[in-house]
């Protein structure tokens, strides 16, 4: 059967439905494809197959879109209703319903191209300067008493943070520094709000910088370089809770802690009051137990002391017995030392004279032997055998002929006297 009926001689061509749908699809393909469209996501859903379906709309129209699993797997964020996006794809006709649809091949946030490139360049430069260094970041205080909060007065984030803090820690004071969180004036107001909190006395223990989610344009104020440097100079830890879990800004990288949402920022900054109350109850219980144990020990010591004081005679008897024992030991020691001293005296009286007599006899024999040796060395005995002892006029001994010269006066000592002589030429 032919898809298109033959022309009637009296009227226009009659199309079959399927054939017309294909003809329209061919015309769209030839006229528009590929096509890029910008709009707001509405009715986004992801099927179990991995395909995504949504509508793209603006104030003047709406277009059904289908994004199949392969293209959806390449997304680097989770699309949500209300997101402004740019899609690239091909217009087609879904023949079973005759609906016009856009088969999406790629999807990105609107304006993300230029802004995202600027974000990456700024992030790389500030990271190279060390603004994101983990070693610079500080831990959050365990028990803050005052929390600084920077956000817009009209933002849902303000309600979320205050509600979370009232629920978890109603005793903590909140110091609010309002600022715009979107628009051209937002960066300067955010910087001024932070400086206002820095100047408070007393200063807050931690500062929360928060706002709700949005597109990259909505969050752009939190990518400001001046804001980044102001966060780094904070005297207290800063928690950044900007956007949703998939949103990242330069403020997140500069902050000491990054929270996925404003509510999460409040929960990170303040532990539940009930948790500390339970900890105090536990400490109180342990202190009570320790005090009871100490009182028990002291009670036992008191009982023992009382029992000893109740029978003083026994204590006195034991002390007397000990003293008697020590006196007996002292008596034995004195007697022993006296006997040893008497024995030493008797020994000296009996042996000392004999030892002295033997010592004197030995010394006398020694002196006699030394006298005999000295007599044998007497020079007079040598002179008696015909020898003479020559000296010069000063009395110095002459022992060599080389000491004398013709005409020198010398003295010769003989056995019976001294003779003066003169040296002749030899």
Q: What is the pLDDT of residues 361-392, one digit of tens each?
A: 788 888 878 877 776 666 777 777 777 878 88
Strand order in the sheet with 238-242: 173-178, 146-151, 206-211, 238-242, 257-258
* Cβ partners under 8 Å of residue 161, min gap 6: 149, 151, 208, 210, 241, 262, 263, 265, 266
Rounded Cα gap, residues 278 and 280, in angstroms: 5
- Phi-psi category of 417—alpha, beta or left, where left has phi over 0 and alpha has psi -120 to 50? left
Residues 196-211 as b or e (16 or more Cβ within 10 Å = b): ebbeeeeebbbbbbbb
Distances (CA, A) of 307 to 297, 310, 312, 314, 371: 16, 5, 9, 11, 90
| Residue in the block written with tokens 């008191």 | 302
Could you tell me which residues are beta bridge partners of residue 90? Answer: 103
Decide if 257 contacts 239 (C-beta within 8 A). yes
Could you tell me which residues are beta bridge partners of residue 87? Answer: 37, 107
**% of the chain exceeding 90 in pLDDT:** 27
For residue range 214-240, list pLDDT tens digits in order.
877 889 999 999 999 999 999 999 999
Could you tell me which residues are beta bridge partners of residue 86? Answer: 38, 108
Decide if 52 contacts 79 (C-beta within 8 A). yes
Rounded Cα gap, residues 296 and 302, in angstroms: 10
Report for 7-11, 86-90, 104-108, 175-179: range of highest mean pLDDT: 175-179
**Tokens representing 169?**
């820690």
Q: How many residues does the chain have?
A: 426
Reported as type and span, the H/E element at residue 188 is: helix 186-198
| Residue 252: CB atoms within 10 Å | 23
**% of the chain exceeding 70 in pLDDT:** 84
Q: Where are the domains of the chain?
A: 17-110, 132-271, 380-422
For residue range 254-292, list pLDDT tens digits in order.
999 999 999 999 999 887 666 666 667 778 778 877 887
Mean pLDDT for the chain overall: 82
Q: Before 202, cis peptide (omega within 30)?
A: yes
Decide if 214 contacts 249 (C-beta within 8 A). no
pLDDT value for 224: 95
Residues 118-148 as b or e (16 or more Cβ within 10 Å = b): ebeeebeebeeeebbeeeeeeebeeebebbb
Decide if 81 contacts 65 (C-beta within 8 A). no
CATH class, 17-110 region:
mainly beta
For residue range 107-133, list pLDDT tens digits in order.
887 765 567 778 889 999 999 999 999
CATH 3.30.70.20 fits 132-271, yes or no: no
Task: Read off the pLDDT of each residue in 148-177 and give the average, rounded to a whole number.
Answer: 91
């Amino acid at each position: 059967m032919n898809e298109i009926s033959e022309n009637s001689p009296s009227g226009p061509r009659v199309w079959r439905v399927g054939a017309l749908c294909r003809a329209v699809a061919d015309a769209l393909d030839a006229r528009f494809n590929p096509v890029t469209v910008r709009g707001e996501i509405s009715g986004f859903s992801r099927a179990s197959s991995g395909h995504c379906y949504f509508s793209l709309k603006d104030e003047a129209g709406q277009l059904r879109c289908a994004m199949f699993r392969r293209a959806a797997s390449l997304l680097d964020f989770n699309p949500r209703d209300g997101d402004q996006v740019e899609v690239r794809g091909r217009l087609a006709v879904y023949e079973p319903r005759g609906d016009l649809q856009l088969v999406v091949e790629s999807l990105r946030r609107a304006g993300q191209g230029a802004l995202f490139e600027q974000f990456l360049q700024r992030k790389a430069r500030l990271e190279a300067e060390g603004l994101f260094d983990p070693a610079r970041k500080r831990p959050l205080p365990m028990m803050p008493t005052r929390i600084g909060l920077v956000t817009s007065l009209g933002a849902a984030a303000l309600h979320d943070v205050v509600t979370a803090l009232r629920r978890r820690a109603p005793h903590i004071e909140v110091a609010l520094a309002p600022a715009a969180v979107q628009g051209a004036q937002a960066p300067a107001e955010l910087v001024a709000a932070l400086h206002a909190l820095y100047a408070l006395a007393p200063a807050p223990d931690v500062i929360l910088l928060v706002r709700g989610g949005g597109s990259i344009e909505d969050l752009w104020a939190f990518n400001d370089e001046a804001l980044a440097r102001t966060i780094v100079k904070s005297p207290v830890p800063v928690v950044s809770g900007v956007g949703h879990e998939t949103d990242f800004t330069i403020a997140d990288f500069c902050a000491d802690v990054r929270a996925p949402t404003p509510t999460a920022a409040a929960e990170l900054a303040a532990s539940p009051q009930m948790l500390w109350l339970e900890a105090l109850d536990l400490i109180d219980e342990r202190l009570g137990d320790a005090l009871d144990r100490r009182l028990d020990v002291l009670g036992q010591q008191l009982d023992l002391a009382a029992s000893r004081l109740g029978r003083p005679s026994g204590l006195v008897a034991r002390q007397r017995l000990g003293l008697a024992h020590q006196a007996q030991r002292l008596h034995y020691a004195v007697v022993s030392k006296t006997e040893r001293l008497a024995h030493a005296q008797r020994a000296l009286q009996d042996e000392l004279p004999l030892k002295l007599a033997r010592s004197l006899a030995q010394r006398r024999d020694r002196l006699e032997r030394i006298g005999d040796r000295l007599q044998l060395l007497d020079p007079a005995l040598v002179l008696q055998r015909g020898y003479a002892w020559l000296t010069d006029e000063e009395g110095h001994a002459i022992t060599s002929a080389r000491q004398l010269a013709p005409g020198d006066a010398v003295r010769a000592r003989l056995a019976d006297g001294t003779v003066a002589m003169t040296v002749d030429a030899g």
